[in-house]
Structure 1
Amino acid sequence: MPTGRRRAEVGPLIFKAVRNGRPYPDHGLATRDWAMIPPRQIRLDTLTTTKRELALDTLLADDSTFYGDLFPHAVQWKGELYLEDGLHRALRAALQQRNVIHVRVLDLDALIPAEQTGSTTGAIPVQRPLPDLQQ
């Protein structure tokens, strides 16, 4: 028997991946704007989180959605679904043995054409400065 450490076998994960931060551009939606997007069913294992940490007291609180939206918010960007808000609700659903939740999904792929997502300033043509008119 080898003396090296063995990795524990891991079954199916709750989320597709865990990130720290948002890889997509700022969409500028306010909370009331999200309410205009109808929720749809999404499998938890297709979501990538944008937060690596959560507060256990928030996860276990009975009134965690009292002041917020009942549905988590996700952003579709370059074919991936990123869970922007609602990590606690999604994890609570997973702890209740549910693998599907209702999520409001903002589809940035449909809103921002692919050619606009390339380089940021490289596509802007160089312009000559304007002459100083105060002389």
Structure 2
Amino acid sequence: MIFKRVGDGRPYPEHELTTARDWAAIAPRQVRLSDLVTTKRTLDLDTLLTEDSTFYGDLFAHVIQYQGVMYLEDGLHRAVRAALQQRMMLHARVYVLDE
């Protein structure tokens, strides 16, 4: 199993991180793929296979930690690519959302 669970949607409330600048304020760290719950059930293969898929976006995945669970909000293609390369860790910006 690559991920802890494959989810469909965001079970956490809205947060204030809406721009790349907001996310950039959070230092990236390593997270285990097996600790992540996805918020998307499907992946665009073009995004996965393109060499410059991060050219216009953040280099790091975006993770929301809510009620002790880590949700992969953005960067599913990065996570799958890491798994295909047999890496168990992913560099991500993790935002802890306390309600």
Q: Normalising by structure 2, report the TM-score.
A: 0.96
Establish whether residue 24 from structure 1 lines up as the match of residue 4 from structure 2. Answer: no
Stretches of 4+ moved more than 3 A in 1? none
Equivalent in the alignment of 1:130: none
Equivalent in the alignment of 1:129: none
Equivalent in the alignment of 1:60: 49
**Structure 1 residues without counterparts, runs of 5 or longer:** 1-12, 113-135
Establish whether residue 38 from structure 1 lines up as the match of residue 57 from structure 2. Answer: no
Identity %: 66
Post-superposition Cα deviations, 1:12-67, rounded to whole Å, max 9, x if no partner, equal x0000011100000103122100000011100000000000010111000010000
Q: Which has the higher strand share?
A: 2
Q: Normalising by structure 1, report the TM-score.
A: 0.71
Report the 3-state secondary structure (helix = DSSP H, G, I; strand = E; otherwise coil) of the residue aligned with 2:70.
Answer: strand
Output the aligned Cα RMSD: 0.7
Equivalent in the alignment of 1:127: none
Post-superposition Cα deviations, 1:50-88, rounded to whole Å, max 9, x if no partner, equal 000010111000010000000000000000000000000
Q: Which has the larger radius of gyration?
A: 1
Note the C-alpha offset of 1:101.
Answer: 1.0
